[in-house]
Amino acid sequence: MQAAPRLAELTTAELAALLSAGAPCVALVPVGSVEPHGPHLPLATDTIIGEAAAERAGRRLWERGVAALLAPPVGYGVTDFAAGFAGAISIPAPALTGFLRAVAEAYLSAGLAHVCFINNHLEPEHDRAVRAAASGLPPGRASVACPLARRWARTLSAEFRSGACHAGRYETSLVLAAAPALVRDDIARDLPDLELSLAEGIKAGVKSFRELGMDAAYTGAPREASEDEGRALLDLLATMIVTEVEEGLSTAAGHDPAPAQGNR
**Distance from the first to the final alpha carbon of the chain:** 25
Q: What is the pLDDT of residues 79-90, one digit of tens each?
A: 999 999 999 999
Q: What is the pLDDT of residues 208-232, one digit of tens each?
A: 999 999 999 999 999 999 999 999 9
Question: What CA–CA distances, in Å, run from 224 to 1, 49, 155, 194, 212?
Answer: 31, 18, 19, 12, 22
Given this model, what pLDDT does residue 256 score? 61
Whole-angstrom distance, CA of residue 177 vs CA of residue 182: 10
> pTM higher than 0.85 for the full model?
yes
Q: Which residues contact 181 (CB under 8 A, 6 or more apart)?
A: none
Q: What is the pLDDT along the chain (264 residues), one digit of tens a residue?
A: 678 999 999 999 999 999 999 999 999 999 999 999 999 999 999 999 999 999 999 999 999 999 999 999 999 999 999 999 999 999 999 999 999 999 999 999 999 999 999 999 999 999 999 999 999 999 999 999 999 999 999 999 999 999 999 999 999 999 999 999 999 999 999 999 999 999 999 999 999 999 999 999 999 999 999 999 999 999 999 999 999 999 999 999 987 644 333 332
